[in-house]
Amino acid sequence: MSLPAHLRIRDGEGGEHWPGFVDALATLLLVIIFLLAVFVVGQYSLSKALTGRDEQLADLNARLSELAEQLNIAESENASLTLRIGSLTEQNENLSAANAQLTQTLDAAQSRLAEVSEELADERELSREAQISMALLNQQMLGLRQELATLNAALEASEAREAELESQIVNLGQRLNAALASQVARLAQYRSEFFGRLVEILGNRSGVRVVGDRFVFETDVLFDSGSAELSEAGKESLRPIAAAIVQLTDEIPDDLDWILRVDGHTDPTPIGPTARYASNWELSTARALSVINWFEALGVPSDRLMAAGLGSNHPIAEGRTALANARNRRIELKLTSR
């Protein structure tokens, strides 16, 4: 195939050859087509993964609704059984009191019968009145024995029923504990996901540390010395965390009662007489509230936030050096249940 005249290159001897940039353009075109194919395959895989996750979330919500319904039924049964146990316990006490009274009466009758028998034996000749009295006493003793047997049977039945109800309560308690453990496990799953997101957001940023299940911000990063007003740099540091909290609020089911706890801490240095805040208690509380207010301004629901000022009572660094004081002046964030 011949090239147009303006694409032909002639050599010094009048020959023609294929220009190199045409091959380069063809190779570039093939690379672009390959990248587009890879992009399309990636988009398809991502769409399929997201569809599977939506189905799992729908299944989880259905299971949570069923568990909540079972918990309500179990609590209702527990309350009913508790009332019945109280009634049976009261009946049991009444029967025990009647049993004790009849036992005393029977003992008195037996004592009287023994006295009469002794008197009759001494006299060796029973009179008609004594015989009648003895017969009456025997009848009374027989009636008392029968009544006592009836009360004992009722008492045993009451105790058996009480034991059965206690067994049912224990079973309900185990079911409730299992349900509560499941709720805690679910919250731990979301807490772990939230923890991982914050670690990615914060990276190796200075002034921020992970201590156990809490994120710790040194207040020197967020506040000026002696102040409870967030600096502009501090606000920007907290902005991506607020965004992660808002996203988490949309993902956690409504039946999980969780909060983000914001704790303010200070170093043990006493507050000066001319300072704005009268004590480290007030300063730590004011700083925690400043973080709460900023999170609210960024869209975090207020019912998912809790502020606490702990003063200098929970240090994480020993000593009174400048470095230890800087570490103890901090704001801690912790995702927990209410």
Domain ranges of the chain: 63-182, 204-337
Provide the angle, in degrees to the nearest 10, between the axes of the packed helices 20-123 and 128-202: 170
**Which residues are within 8 A (CB) of 322 and not within 5 positions of it... i.e. 6 or more apart?**
none
Q: Who contacts 106 (Cβ-Cβ below 8 Å, separation ≥6)?
A: 141, 144, 145, 148
pLDDT tens per residue, range 23-37 = 888 888 888 998 888
- Beta carbons within 8 Å of 218's beta carbon, 6+ residues apart: 207, 208, 326, 327, 329, 330
Given this model, what pLDDT does residue 292 score? 95
Identify the band that residue 206 occupies on the pLDDT scale cut at 50, 70 and 90. low
Per DSSP, 76 falls in state: H
* Rg (alpha carbons) of the chain, rounded to whole number: 43
What value does the mean pLDDT take over residues 52-77? 78
pLDDT at residue 308, as a whole number: 93
Which residue would you say has higher pLDDT here, 201 or 272?
272
pLDDT(13) > 70: no
Is the pLDDT reported for residue 162 higher than 90? Answer: no
Q: According to the model, what pLDDT value does residue 245 have?
A: 84
Give yes or no for residue 181 having a pLDDT over 70: no
DSSP 193: H
Fold of the CATH domain 204-337: 60s Ribosomal Protein L30; Chain: A; (3.30.1330)
Mean pLDDT is highest, among 98-102, 174-178, 249-253, for: 98-102
Q: Which long-range contacts (CB under 8 A, 24 or more apart) does 195-201 make?
A: 195/335, 197/244, 197/247, 197/248, 198/241, 198/244, 198/333, 201/240, 201/241, 201/244
Instruction: Output the pLDDT for position 264.
Output: 94
CB 332 within 8 A of CB 260: no
With a CB cutoff of 8 Å and minimum separation 6, the contacts of 222 are 230, 231, 233, 234, 237, 238, 287, 291, 331
For residue 269, which of 330, 329, 332 has the smallest C-alpha distance? 329
* pLDDT, mean over the chain: 79
Q: Which of 243, 241, 260 is nearest to 303 (CA)?
A: 260
For residue 186, pLDDT over 80 is answered with no
Neighbouring C-alpha atoms within 13 Å toward the C-beta of 274: 0
Position 255 scores a pLDDT of 67
Task: Report pLDDT digits (tens) over 235-273.
Answer: 988 888 888 888 888 777 776 778 889 999 999 988 877
pLDDT of residue 165: 78
Model confidence at 22, in pLDDT bands (50, 70, 90)?
confident
What CATH number has the domain spanning 63-182?
A: 1.10.287.1490
